[in-house]
Structure 1
Amino acid sequence: MTRVAAIDCGTNSVRLLIADISGERLTDVERRMEIVRLGQDVDRTGRLAPEALERTFGAMRGYAKLIRKHAAPDGGPAGTPVGMPVRVVATSATRDAENRADFVSGVREIFGVEPEVVSGAEEAGLSFTGATRGLADVTAAEGPYLVVDIGGGSTEFVVGSAGRTAGGAGAAEGVVRGAMSVDIGCVRLTERHLGTAGDPPSREAVQAAIADIEAAMDRVETEVPVRDARTLVGLAGSVTTVAGIALGLPAYDPALIHHSRISAERVHEVSARLLRMTHAERAAIPVMHPGRVDVIGAGALILDRIVGRYGLSEVVVSEHDILDGIAWSLA
């Protein structure tokens, strides 16, 4: 058995997974998430805001304490996690930022390891591995899979079939047939179109967001065989929140959301409903995390356009994603 620590720092949230890996089984020790909005205004300024960096580093300092708590106490530099492999992966917002060196140095100080600002293709491969490893065993879902990871700054599209991971890259060996990352995340589209267009947003703002999504999917289809997929697997907070709403849950419950199947009709209904709601009405939804209230409309809209464009009957929702892919890459 190997104990590992995976940290995923995205545009909207920073997450931690400490897990024990034995053979083909991954068992959670700790799984945490905090909304830090690292990508605040990156689309407009091209830089990580000082206050966004401090929010992120604050969350990471708490994660470092948890890693030390669960690691073997066998010595090492003060403040450095010891006794388990640690990998810190940063994605869209950090890729785009002129001052990403500030982020890198801060993470190095907190965790004692060099963070990896991964490419869109690497991000897609890690997400695919995390979402599909063991998927067919529990859902009987048919491949090829289209795995869609809707993040804050970008959305990853990956088509392939499940298999074992291939070393540190995190992609499944001989499995991924095509992958692409495009800049249509829920935070980015909210800042571009929906966030300043009324409450709820105007029809014109929604149509502008749709145009961005459709243009991005046009690019995806030139590189990724999305129409070959037989099962859509949806990842990340926008998708799991839509699933919780569609299921009518009285509170967010990962066990009920994981591997749930949400029909295309329900996805469309939930997306349309969210875009008609005010901020206060969205905040009152039982499964809604406070950090997603202002961006969930854009995230749901992205999912709805993907389902509709490719004629898919449903989305299989996964609570396992890039974070689990990072952990598998350390095994």
Structure 2
Amino acid sequence: MRVAAVDCGTNSIRLLIADLVGGDLVEVDRRMTIVRLGQGVDATGAFAPEALDRVFAASADFADVIKASGATRVRFVATSAARDVSNRDAFFAGIEARLGVRPEIISGREEAELSFRGATTSLDLPAPYLVADIGGGSSELVLGDSTGVIAAESLDIGSVRLTERHVTTDPTTPAELAAITRDIDALLDATTVPLAEARSLIAVAGTATTVAAVALKLPEYDRTAVHHARLTADQLRATTTWLTTSTRAERAIPAIHPGRVDVIGAGALILQRLTDRLPVNALTVSEHDILDGTALSLA
């Protein structure tokens, strides 16, 4: 059975077309477009018209790809940016008109569980493992083992949200970094997920994969090299320092997607502050995440 999963987040919209074979996914097509749907949402509580235009255009392109692929089941999930906006009916209508399916605004708990399912497939690591999905508007933390999820929570800290809230200069000033750090630490202090129980850390989504590409000093983004890459705590710390103190022009390198250049520093800092709290000395980066979990849910 061929299925199509679409994940629309705060910063990007992504498509996975895959065949479900014996409970596993065989990838047919995977693509991503930066749409910055969450532009200004933290301040206004509504989607900007230009942000909706960008996501509708990308969805129309995805609809053509899905139709040509012959996928028989489609699921569209939307996360942090779409949960509380005042004009989400316009978002629903525009997506349904283009893709023929109604978007599902999933809860933080379900977002975490789908990320966990996608990330932990085909990994042999000590359990329990913590899956961290650092997004644009929120970050999902889920602790689990081979039996499933033990604890999960969605935190309102993300690369776009924190950048828009605190960063006005280039490069980011120490005072701005301190403000971002305070927001991150406040929510990590209060999380209900027992971080100290984790024996492995798996980081997923665009922030983590971008940080890995920079840490590995890849000349350009290479999904194969990034998938299941292992970064030591020292590598992560050095990479985060560079990403948070460099200028936007300095970060405009092939390994970083242009749509992430301005927000990657805040995202890396979330990952760094989280890792510092865990009893681990390295993290594993996975290209498989909520998108893969969503596709698996169509079985």
SS at match of 2:83: helix
SS at match of 2:16: strand
Q: Deviations over 1:134-189 (max 9, x none)?
A: 212xxxx1111100000000000000013xxxxxxxxxxx5101000011000000
1:296 aligns with 2:264: yes
8 Å CA contact 2:199–2:279 kept in 1: the answer is: no
Distance 2:130 2:52 in 1: 33
8 Å CA contact 2:134–2:267 kept in 1: the answer is: yes
TM-score with structure 1 length normalisation? 0.89
Distance 2:190 2:83 in 1: 19
1:127 aligns with 2:115: yes
The aligned residue for residue 161 of structure 2 is: 188
8 Å CA contact 2:130–2:202 kept in 1: the answer is: yes
Flag structure 1 segments of 5+ consecutive residues without an equivalent: 72-82, 163-173
The structural deviation recorded for 1:24 is 3.7
Distance 1:300 1:311 in 2: 19
Runs of 4+ in 1 over 4 A off after TM superposition: none
Report the residue type matching 2:53 in the other structure: E
Q: Deviations over 1:224-245 (max 9, x none)?
A: 1221110000011111111011
Distance 2:164 2:271 in 1: 18
8 Å CA contact 2:113–2:152 kept in 1: the answer is: yes
Distance 1:94 1:152 in 2: 12
The structural deviation recorded for 1:286 is 2.7
The aligned residue for residue 67 of structure 1 is: 66
Report the residue type matching 2:72 in the other structure: M
The aligned residue for residue 18 of structure 1 is: 17
The aligned residue for residue 5 of structure 1 is: 4
Report the residue type matching 2:149 in the other structure: V
The aligned residue for residue 294 of structure 2 is: 326
8 Å CA contact 2:204–2:289 kept in 1: the answer is: yes
SS at match of 1:96: coil
SS at match of 2:151: strand
8 Å CA contact 2:133–2:140 kept in 1: the answer is: yes
The structural deviation recorded for 1:108 is 1.0
Distance 1:21 1:187 in 2: 33
SS at match of 2:37: coil
1:36 aligns with 2:35: yes
Write the mapping of 1:42-57 to structure 2, written as runs, cut at 5 A.
42-57=41-56
Distance 1:323 1:225 in 2: 25
SS at match of 2:271: helix
Distance 2:216 2:277 in 1: 23
The aligned residue for residue 161 of structure 1 is: 145
Distance 1:323 1:259 in 2: 16
Given candidates 77, 80, 84, the residue that maps to 2:72 is: 84
8 Å CA contact 1:12–1:36 kept in 2: the answer is: yes
The aligned residue for residue 130 of structure 2 is: 146
Larger Rg: 1
The aligned residue for residue 249 of structure 2 is: 280
Aligned CA-pair RMSD: 0.9
Aligned length: 299
SS at match of 1:330: coil
8 Å CA contact 1:232–1:312 kept in 2: the answer is: yes
Given candidates 204, 216, 236, the residue that maps to 2:175 is: 204
Flag structure 2 segments of 5+ consecutive residues without an equivalent: none
The aligned residue for residue 233 of structure 2 is: 264
8 Å CA contact 2:195–2:277 kept in 1: the answer is: no
The structural deviation recorded for 1:308 is 0.8
TM-score with structure 2 length normalisation? 0.98
The aligned residue for residue 179 of structure 1 is: 152
The structural deviation recorded for 1:311 is 3.7
Distance 2:5 2:69 in 1: 13
8 Å CA contact 2:24–2:296 kept in 1: the answer is: no
1:215 aligns with 2:203: no
8 Å CA contact 1:177–1:225 kept in 2: the answer is: no
Identity of aligned residues (%): 55
SS at match of 2:297: helix
Q: Deviations over 1:19-69 (max 9, x none)?
A: 011014311111000000000000000000111001000000000000000
